Chains A and B, each alone.
Chain A
Amino acid sequence: MLQVDNKTLNSWERLRDSDIYFSFIKSPTAIVSSVILLIIFFCSFFVEFVTPHNPFDPASLSLMEAFTPPSWTEDGMAKFILGTDGQGRDMLSTILYGSRISLIVGFSAIIFSLILGVSLGLTAGYFGGKYEMIVMRLTDVQLTVPSILMALLVDGIARGIISREMHDEMAIYVLIFAIGISEWPQFARVSRAATLVEKNKDYVSASSIIGVSNLLIMFKHILPNIMRPILVIGTIGLALAIIAESTLSFLGVGVPPTTPSLGTLIRLGNDFLFSGEWWITFFPAIFLVILAFSINLLGDWMRDTLNPRLKK
């Protein structure tokens, strides 16, 4: 009889039993950053239920309340914890609405570049030959173009093609495409390298001998085995994508001011910085830093845990 204990574990118990769970509860950084992220995600996606104000409902706005400083300062009002902006919108609510846009763009962009990069990298590593060479040279070319420049280029072209009225509607998709297209080489490189290692393992040979098709070998056998490094760079890439979105919006080529993201808010607030209304730009900026920092910390923890070579 098998020596291993005879009860079978369900998925939850398997997770509780795993080294990843153990390493998670032993790492304060991982716990703190994931708690912060959970709160941010929750508040951003259920923003209508969380915030007391709807900053995009013109009826609720009063210009009398514009430029109210944060509540703990002398002129602050209790109902606007982080103050208001030039149109009397509550900063906290605006930030949460903005971070929803930022998160949606960030996640979509990273998923787009992940799918593109991984499928190119995986097939390149598996088939090799001229195809691999072409794909890898493409990534080299892509990496020589700074990603912001690439995104600006895409945005510029999009403005040329899409009519003015349509552009505001399409802006968010253009942004996702622009950021996604500038980040795929990372995924292509990592997944190609991991595929090269995996494809020489005997289980892949065994599958070919059985007669399994190349497509099935790649996506059923190799892909799950190369997911770890991809998840790690995906997490860190998410932070980069959110920052890229903010940068583009700050430069004015991102989402339009009617649906502001964190970057748009920072840009709008920037105009008031020298007239003393520091909170309009300061709080969105701090929020962005906390968001990106937490994602990066979580990504670092994942890299250390999922890469056995770094273990001491």
Chain B
Amino acid sequence: MTFLKINNLSVDYKMRKETVNAAKNINIDIKKGEIVGLVGESGSGKSTVANAIVNLIDEPGKVSSGSILMGETNISGNPETIVQYRGKKIGLIFQDPQTSLNPILTIGEQLIETIQTHLNLSSEDAKNKAINLLKEVGIKDAEKRFYNYPHQFSGGMRQRVVISLALCCEPELLIADEPTTALDVSIQSQILELIKRLTKERNLAVILITHDMGVIAETTDRVAVMKNGDLVEIGLTKQVLVEPKEKYTKSLVSSVPPTNKKISRFTIIEKENVSDQNNNVKILNRWSKKIIVDQNLIEIKNLSKSFDDSFFTENTKNSVMAVDDVSLNIKEGQSFGLVGESGSGKTTIAKMVVNLFKPSSGDIYFDSVNVTKIKKNKDLLKFRKQIQMIFQDPFSSLNGRLKVKEIIAEPIKLHNPDIKSSDLDSYIHDLLESVELTQQSAIRYPHEFSGGQRQRISIARALATQPRLLVCDEPTSALDVSIQAQILNLLKDLQEQLNLTILFISHDLPVVRQMCDKIAVLKDGKLCEVSETEELFKNPKHNYTKELLKLMPKIESIYN
């Protein structure tokens, strides 16, 4: 029995230059008791569909055609009906639990307010109901926690509170927009379990929006794949993921890093607009070839870093140990993975390796030179040349006021001040070619490129000094999965051709498995385990590693 029926829904955004069709003739039916996944890359229109259901489309967007039926009632086109439905019959969960709660009200006040807006209950009854709800979503000591403010909860707990808010008026439809994207893996699995349990117990219809194929595979009953506002494919999750009919779905599934095996390259079916041939011969000629000796390029010895809040307290005991006594060795030519959840200290280690932070104690040796002790500017420059970094956010890592040409020229000119301008141009050209960008890219500004293309520019800039070590700090976390696959392929190719050593930092275990030879697992600044990649995935020794591996969402789970 269909509960929610989306009929030929189209949403248009009338922009200054053109009209963007954010959703085109979407038809989706949802039954009670089932979770329907809405999956797609950024800009595919998945959130637009959800916002259209609750009539929360931002200006200048408009539903241009179609209808949404809930039971027998048409809820589109009638703002008054939808205001009554929102919160009462439809519950909403948003991505960021930090911002979806009001920080100056206790969670109890927020729950009671919502309950009393929609249900005719006395304060006492509303309070009892709220406490029961908190218990239902798995918050311990609900009677006490009822009086706490949002900042007193952790991210996962806060998302549970958000879910209890969404559920407090007995909705029949739950819309969850990327509910676990801001959370760590271990918390993600708990929240997904909770949503699954509630769906069954309360017989809810659930729309789960996500970009994560693993989440889709583990949670949803049916899935709708969207691209550029079109509904590409809809069907049972298993069917869509195992035997995708459409080319786009196939490319999407093949871009997902498998969790159970290591593959040499990702198969790319639909490539982003970049030049096809990867021609690294030219840049290779410029590279001073280094023969790999079986030696450590980086040795980290008892490295610690503490951030003290001397502003708030004199007591140094309160200082946070971001990195606590970590020792690691990275061999020349190796790609070394650093894995951990947020706050585990992985980025801090990276920033110490590239000499952006000074360690509180411990030493870092690069090619047997203690880099923490480098004093002279000239020596530091020589060291800088050999280590480069690629950042997570492709939008903030390029200076928007400079042309791509100028961005890439900066490191070249700095380390080779006498370079002739014709040489410079051809070098920039070769670098762009090596990251599969066209020559015309040089005279454009960063904002004219997509996230993946910007990340390529970042890589070209990093390669300009001909480094031996490339530190990649979550280089693909901000990218869509198909773009991620292309960037990972590119990094692999470059590493092979240029004999780069890579320090690869990520929270995403499947990605690390594809990229790295050796992996170190970090938790709260401490090292848990270091071992060869396949060994780590097959025989994890540390309990924390075992838990991480168990909890990561696996697209392969669909086969079971």
**Chain B, 354-385, contact with A by CB distance < 8 Å: what is the 0/1 string?**
11100000000000000000000000110011
A4 within 8 A of B: yes
Give A111 to B275 CA distance when docked, in angstroms: 47
Please pick, from A1, A2, A6, A201, the residue contacting B396 in the complex, using a CB distance under 8 A: A201
Give A306 to B410 CA distance when docked, in angstroms: 28
Which interface residue of A1, A202, A225, A312 has the most chain B CB atoms within 10 A? A202
The distance from the CB of A75 to the nearest CB of chain B, in whole angstroms, is 56
Q: Which of A62-70, A182-190, A207-215, A282-290 forms part of the interface with chain B?
A: A207-215
Asked whether B380 lies within 8 Å of A211 as measured between CB atoms, the reply is yes
- Nearest to A221 among chain B residues (CB) is B399
The distance from the CB of A61 to the nearest CB of chain B, in whole angstroms, is 54
A163 within 8 A of B: no
| Interface residues of A, Cβ cutoff 8 Å to B | 1-4, 6, 8, 19, 22, 201-203, 205-212, 221, 224-225, 312
Further contacts, 15 of them, CB under 8 A, given A4-B444, A210-B384:
A8-B444, A22-B16, A202-B397, A205-B351, A205-B389, A205-B391, A205-B397, A206-B389, A209-B355, A209-B387, A209-B389, A210-B410, A210-B465, A221-B399, A225-B401
- Nearest to A207 among chain B residues (CB) is B410
Give A8 to B440 CA distance when docked, in angstroms: 9
Asked whether A1 lies within 8 Å of B275 as measured between CB atoms, the reply is yes
Give A211 to B465 CA distance when docked, in angstroms: 10
Q: A1-B438, A206-B391 are in contact. Are A211 and B414 (CB under 8 A)?
A: yes
Give A272 to B126 CA distance when docked, in angstroms: 76
Please pick, from B16, B384, B393, the residue contacting A209 in the complex, using a CB distance under 8 A: B384
B441 within 8 A of A: yes
- What would be 17 A-B contacts, judged by CB atoms less than 8 Å apart? A2-B273, A4-B449, A8-B440, A8-B444, A202-B396, A203-B397, A203-B399, A205-B351, A205-B356, A206-B398, A206-B461, A209-B356, A210-B384, A210-B410, A210-B411, A211-B385, A212-B410
* Complex interface: chain A residues within 8 A of B444 (CB): 4, 8
Asked whether B401 lies within 8 Å of A211 as measured between CB atoms, the reply is no
Please pick, from A1, A19, A209, A225, the residue contacting B354 in the complex, using a CB distance under 8 A: A209
* Complex interface: chain B residues within 8 A of A2 (CB): 273, 437-438, 440-441, 453
CB contacts between A and B, total, < 8 Å: 76
Asked whether A210 lies within 8 Å of B398 as measured between CB atoms, the reply is no
**Chain B, 137-164, contact with A by CB distance < 8 Å: what is the 0/1 string?**
0000000000000000000000000000
The distance from the CB of B204 to the nearest CB of chain A, in whole angstroms, is 35
- Nearest to A210 among chain B residues (CB) is B411
B343 within 8 A of A: no
Per DSSP, are chain A's interface residues mostly helix, strand or loop, or mixed? Answer: helix
The distance from the CB of B335 to the nearest CB of chain A, in whole angstroms, is 19
Asked whether B401 lies within 8 Å of A224 as measured between CB atoms, the reply is yes
Asked whether B400 lies within 8 Å of A225 as measured between CB atoms, the reply is yes
Which interface residue of A2, A3, A201, A207 has the most chain B CB atoms within 10 A? A2
Which interface residue of A6, A201, A312 has the most chain B CB atoms within 10 A? A201
Asked whether B381 lies within 8 Å of A211 as measured between CB atoms, the reply is yes
Give A202 to B448 CA distance when docked, in angstroms: 19
Give A207 to B387 CA distance when docked, in angstroms: 12
Interface residues on chain B, number (Cβ under 8 Å): 41
**Chain B, 395-407, contact with A by CB distance < 8 Å: what is the 0/1 string?**
0111111100000
Give A221 to B400 CA distance when docked, in angstroms: 9
B320 within 8 A of A: no
Asked whether A209 lies within 8 Å of B415 as measured between CB atoms, the reply is no
* Complex interface: chain A residues within 8 A of B387 (CB): 209
* Complex interface: chain B residues within 8 A of A221 (CB): 399, 401-402
* Complex interface: chain B residues within 8 A of A202 (CB): 391-393, 396-397
B388 within 8 A of A: yes
* Complex interface: chain B residues within 8 A of A210 (CB): 384, 388, 410-411, 414, 461, 465
Docked complex: B68-113 residues within 8 A CB-CB of A: none
B443 within 8 A of A: yes
Which interface residue of B387, B396, B437, B461 has the most chain A CB atoms within 10 A? B396
The distance from the CB of B525 to the nearest CB of chain A, in whole angstroms, is 21
Give A141 to B137 CA distance when docked, in angstroms: 54
Give A172 to B82 CA distance when docked, in angstroms: 66
* Complex interface: chain A residues within 8 A of B388 (CB): 209-210
* Complex interface: chain B residues within 8 A of A22 (CB): 16
* Complex interface: chain A residues within 8 A of B59 (CB): 312
- Nearest to A312 among chain B residues (CB) is B59
B304 within 8 A of A: no
Give A312 to B440 CA distance when docked, in angstroms: 35
Give A205 to B396 CA distance when docked, in angstroms: 10
The distance from the CB of B60 to the nearest CB of chain A, in whole angstroms, is 10
The distance from the CB of B146 to the nearest CB of chain A, in whole angstroms, is 35
Give A6 to B441 CA distance when docked, in angstroms: 10
* Complex interface: chain A residues within 8 A of B392 (CB): 202
B188 within 8 A of A: no
B458 within 8 A of A: yes
The 9 closest A-B pairs by CB, nearest first: A202-B397, A211-B384, A202-B391, A224-B401, A210-B411, A201-B396, A3-B273, A203-B399, A211-B381
* Complex interface: chain B residues within 8 A of A209 (CB): 354-356, 384, 387-389
* Complex interface: chain B residues within 8 A of A206 (CB): 389, 391, 397-398, 458, 461
